A and B are shown apart, each in its own frame.
Chain A
């Protein structure tokens, strides 16, 4: 069985602060994908990143960065110099790979509020 835990239910930060969203996962699969999605109030899940379990390199995209550590089964997401537009619910998700299809197991999400 797969499980994704996002221990932080809600986080509030002041604009321009850095914030890290934690994600810990459990899986027995040897290969898998990890995802992060952003859900603004409109409801649409916005794709942020997909990471293959083979690739443990950290990634940076603008103000966003991701730290994947297979040894601790964590895939944390950091927003640098947060902005009000970053306010949303963020989901971490896990899917087995090699099965020819995605079947995502989501965490419960972390609601981020950036205060001006």
Chain B
């Protein structure tokens, strides 16, 4: 059974650009959530999607957005990148959100120059 797949694994952007990260959950999982990991702030919740609807959002500015497609795949977008957005972005999936185990992908490491 394939795990949570995130693409791209690594990317470099410059300030002001935007970026889109993709996450394919485990087959059968309908809930996808995103987390940002930085050395200073640690792991922080970004948002969670279930059946194409955002159900929860963390304390991040509006530059951070996401969506979920009918096949449960999810994307997150960061616009007008800032140096502080450099981080490992982790996606997690679970069967229905709030139940069962929560599995993470290997993450997308974003560097903003």
Are these two chains actual partners, yes or no? Answer: yes
In this complex, how many residues of chain B approach chain A with their Cβ under 8 Å: the count is 27
Tell me whether B97 and A101 are in contact (CB under 8 A): yes
Residues of A within 8 A of B (CB): 35, 37, 42-47, 50, 91, 93, 95, 97-109
Residues in chain B near residue A105, CB distance under 8 A: 45
Q: How many A-B residue pairs have CB under 8 A?
A: 69
Chain B's interface: helix, strand, loop or mixed, by majority?
A: strand
Q: In the bound complex, how far is the Cα of B94 from the Cα of A113, in angstroms?
A: 30
Tell me whether A104 and B102 are in contact (CB under 8 A): yes
- Determine if B11 is an interface residue (Cβ-Cβ < 8 Å): no
Of A35, A46, A103, most buried by chain B (CB within 10 Å of CB) is A103
Q: In the bound complex, how far is the Cα of B21 from the Cα of A30, in angstroms?
A: 35
Tell me whether B102 and A102 are in contact (CB under 8 A): yes
Looking at the assembled complex, report how far the CB atom of A36 sits from the nearest CB atom of chain B, in whole angstroms: 12
Chain B residue at smallest Cβ distance from A106: B43
- Determine if B23 is an interface residue (Cβ-Cβ < 8 Å): no
